[in-house]
Amino acid sequence: MFLHERLESGQKEGTRPFDAVIFNIPISNVDPHAKNFSILLGPGSPQLVPLYDTMSGLASLNITQDHAQAIDGQGLGRRIYGHYWRRMAEAAGPAASGTVQRVE
């Protein structure tokens, strides 16, 4: 809870995990999972480290398009429509405000 409250206190830092999810879907990075996100704890607010272990699955026919991180239960990238993003943002609460606008 402490970390969640501190991330929400800095709105920009609080939205970065959602921005990473938004980025991974259109590039077809199908293997983003919790171990690909790290938080740096230091003086001041916690910070999400830059994205790592990312790749685009668009260049290969042998890579599935089923994402490890589903958006509101939909894991097939080409079928993740606006209503999935809206429901994910609603479930996430204030930290995800503006998610739909960033997706568009």
pLDDT tens for each residue of 23-74: 888 899 988 888 888 888 988 888 888 888 888 988 888 888 888 888 999 9
* HSE-CB of 31 using CA atoms within 13 angstroms: 10
Query: Number of structural domains, the chain?
Result: 1
Say if 83 falls within a structural domain. Answer: yes
74 strand-pairing partners: 71
pLDDT tier, 3 (very low <50, low <70, confident <90, very high otherwise) = very low
- For residue 67, what pLDDT is reported? 87
> Is 102 inside a domain boundary?
no
Position 80 in a domain: yes
In a domain, 104, yes or no: no
